[in-house]
């Protein structure tokens, strides 16, 4: 659908597609499914973050026994939060691309 979309549009479309592939028929993820998705699809961003208090807070909230599920909006906020604290983000910022 976004074959001619911008890189940013394609990135968000990919995030939505990955989320939808993991989500239940109601379009939500359990906390354990969310953690599994992050570990399998977002591990380069979360790698090395284990000792950061904010990371521990986020992951422990996913470990809590709860029937609450995560919708796409919450998932995207989670991705942005993890990205902002990631060491990989700094490496990405240091790379300049020319168009």
| pTM of the predicted structure, to 2 decimals | 0.78
In a domain, 61, yes or no: yes
- C-alpha to C-alpha distance for 44 and 39, rounded to whole angstroms: 9
Residue span of the structural domain in which 94 resides: 7-98
CATH of the domain at 74: 1.10.238.10
In a domain, 58, yes or no: yes
- C-alpha to C-alpha distance for 64 and 32, rounded to whole angstroms: 9
Q: pLDDT by residue (tens digit) across 12-61?
A: 999 999 999 999 999 999 988 998 899 899 988 888 888 888 888 888 88
When divided into structural domains, the chain yields a total of 1
pLDDT at 89 over 70: yes
pLDDT at 76 over 90: yes
pLDDT band (50, 70, 90) for residue 98: low
């Amino acid at each position: 659908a976004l074959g001619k979309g911008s890189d940013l549009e394609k990135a968000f479309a990919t995030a939505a597609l990955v989320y939808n592939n993991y989500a239940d028929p109601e379009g939500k993820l359990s906390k354990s499914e969310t953690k599994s998705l992050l570990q399998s699809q977002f591990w380069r961003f979360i790698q090395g973050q284990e000792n950061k208090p904010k990371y521990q807070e986020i992951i422990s909230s996913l470990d809590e026994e709860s029937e609450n599920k995560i919708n796409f909006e919450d998932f995207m906020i989670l991705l942005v939060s993890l990205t902002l604290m990631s060491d990989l983000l700094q490496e990405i910022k240091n790379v300049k691309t020319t168009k």
